[in-house]
Amino acid sequence: MKHIRELLMALLVLVTIQLSAQDMAHYKRIVRELSSAKYQGRGYARGGANKAGEFLRKEFVRAGADEVVCQPFKLDINTFPGRMKASVDGKPLTPGVDFAMREYSPGIKGTFPLYYVDTLDFQAEKVFKDLAMPENKDAFVVCDFWFSYKHRDVFRRLQSKDGCANAGLMYIWEEPLKFYKAYGEKVVDKAILWVPYSFPKDAKTITTDIENQFLKGYECFNVIAKVEGSRHDSCYVFTAHYDHLGNLGRKVFYAGANDNASGTAAIVTLAAYYAKNRPEYDMYFIAFSGEDANLRGSEYYANHPVVPLGRIKYLFNIDMIGDNNPTAYCEASDEGMRGFALFEQINREKHYFRALDRGELAANSDHYPFATRHVPCIFLENKHGDAFKYYHTIHDNWKHAVVDSYEPVFRLVRDFVGQYR
C-alpha cells in the first residue's frame, strides 16, 4: 500500500507539473502569435489591431468560453503606414532606431536646414529672429526634449504655423527611442521627430519623405468572453489590452510582446482555466482595443457595459507582466483596497513576489475608467526588470520576451478569487 500511495503521489505531482507546463505553453503561443509580423504591431493601420482581435475571439472560443462577443467602437487616430525615410547630410537614418515620430505629427517631404537651439544662452526672441533669416528658411529646430518641455510656451509657438515659419522640430530623446499613440487623435501643424542623443551636433540638413495617414472614425472592437458560474448576481472581470503601436513606415512595426501580448495571453489562459474549473460567479474576460490611443476601448466599455458595473465583485487589469522583477507593481481603486489587503496576505503566505509595490492610481491603463466609477479593481504590472528598457520600442518583441511573472500573477489572481468574500 505504501508503494501505491507513493506512486499515486508521484503521478499527481507529474500531472500538476504537466498542467503547469501546458499553461505556460499556451501562454507562450499566444504571446508569440500576437507579436508576430502578421499583426504589424496590432495598430490601427493595415487592420493590425482588428486582425489580432479576431484571433482572440477564436482563442476564447477555443479556451471553452460560453459566450464570446465583439463590442465595436470608433476612434480618430494618426498613423504612419507609408513612406518613412530620412537622412542627415546624405546619411540614411533608420526608422525606430535613429528617429521616430510624435504620434500627432503630419508627414513631410523635402530637404531642410537644421537649426540647433542654444540651451546655454537661451533667448526666445533671438531664436525667432534667427529663424527669420534666409539661411534658416524652413528649418528644423533641434533641441533637447526636456529643455523644450521647460520652455514649452516658446516651443508651442514653434509648433504652430502662425508662430514661426520653421518646417518642423526635432526633439532629442533617450535611447532606445520610444513611440506613442496616446495623443494621436489629432494632427498638428508641423512635423515633429524624436532623435537620440547620438544625433550629430553639427549636421547641416535633413531630407525627409514621411507619410502619415489620419484615420477618421476608425472602427475597432473589444472582445468580451464569458465563462458562466453557478451564481449570476455578481461577477469577476479580467481585462487586458491587445492593441499596440502598429507601424512606423512600411517595414518597421512595434511587436509589443510585453506591452501587452503578455497580459492578453494571461487572461486567455485564465479563461481556459475557469472553463475547466467552473467558478462560483460568472467570469468576464475583456480584451480591450484602443488602450494605446488613450484608453478608448475601456472608456467605451465603462460607458456601455454588458453587465452593470455595480455587479462587479472585483476587476483585474493585467498589463505588461512580461518581465522578471521580483517585485510586482500594483494600483488599486479606493473600493479595491480591501481586496488589496488580501492580495498582500496571499503573497506573504505563498511568496509569489518579493513584495507588491502599490503606486498611486493613475490613468495609465484600462483599470482607470472603472476605478473612477467606483469599481473594486487592481492593476497588475511587472516593470523595471530586463524587459522594461524595451517598452514602446521596436525591441519589445518575441526575441526579448520574458515570461517569469506569468505564473506568479496567474496564481495570485486565482488564489484571490478563491478566497475573496
Q: What is the reported pLDDT for 163?
A: 84
Cβ(229)–Cβ(417) under 8 Å? no
Among the listed ranges 6-15, 176-185, 199-208, 335-344, which one has the minimum average pLDDT value? 6-15
Grid coordinates of 282 = 460568472
Q: What is the reported pLDDT for 7?
A: 45
Whether the per-residue pLDDT at 420 is higher than 80: the answer is: yes
- Give the list of residues 6+ apart from residue 184 with CB closer than 8 angstroms, or none: 77, 78, 79, 103, 104, 293
Grid coordinates of 411 = 496564481
Report the residue count for the chain. Answer: 421
Grid coordinates of 8 = 499515486
Whether the per-residue pLDDT at 144 is higher than 70: the answer is: yes
Whether the per-residue pLDDT at 17 is higher than 50: the answer is: no
Average pLDDT over residues 396-401: 97
Whether the per-residue pLDDT at 19 is higher than 90: the answer is: no
For the chain, percent of residues with pLDDT exceeding 90: 93
Whether the per-residue pLDDT at 4 is higher than 70: the answer is: no
What are the DSSP calls for 21-85, one per residue?
HHHHHHHHHHHHHHTSGGGGGG-SGGGHHHHHHHHHHHHHHHHT-SEEEEEEEEEEEEE--S-EE
Whether the per-residue pLDDT at 14 is higher than 80: the answer is: no
Taking only Cα atoms into account, the Rg of the chain, rounded to an integer number of angstroms, comes to 24
Whether the per-residue pLDDT at 13 is higher than 80: the answer is: no
Q: To 5 degrees, how large is the angle CA 290–CA 296–CA 299? A: 135
361-386: b or e for each residue (b if 16 or more CB lie within 10 Å)?
beeebbbbbbbebebbbbbbbbbebe
Whether the per-residue pLDDT at 375 is higher than 80: the answer is: yes
CA 409 from centroid of its chain's CA atoms: 18
Whether the per-residue pLDDT at 21 is higher than 70: the answer is: no
d(CA 116, CA 103): 23
Neighbours of 231 (CB within 10 A): 11
Among the listed ranges 2-11, 205-214, 341-350, which one has the minimum average pLDDT value? 2-11
Whether the per-residue pLDDT at 11 is higher than 80: the answer is: no
Cβ(142)–Cβ(114) under 8 Å? yes
Q: What is the reported pLDDT for 22?
A: 53
| Burial class of residue 324 (count of CB atoms within 10 Å of its CB; 0-12, 13-18, 19+) | middle
Whether the per-residue pLDDT at 304 is higher than 90: the answer is: yes
The H or E element containing residue 343 is helix 337-350
d(CA 86, CA 195): 11
Average pLDDT over residues 179-185: 96
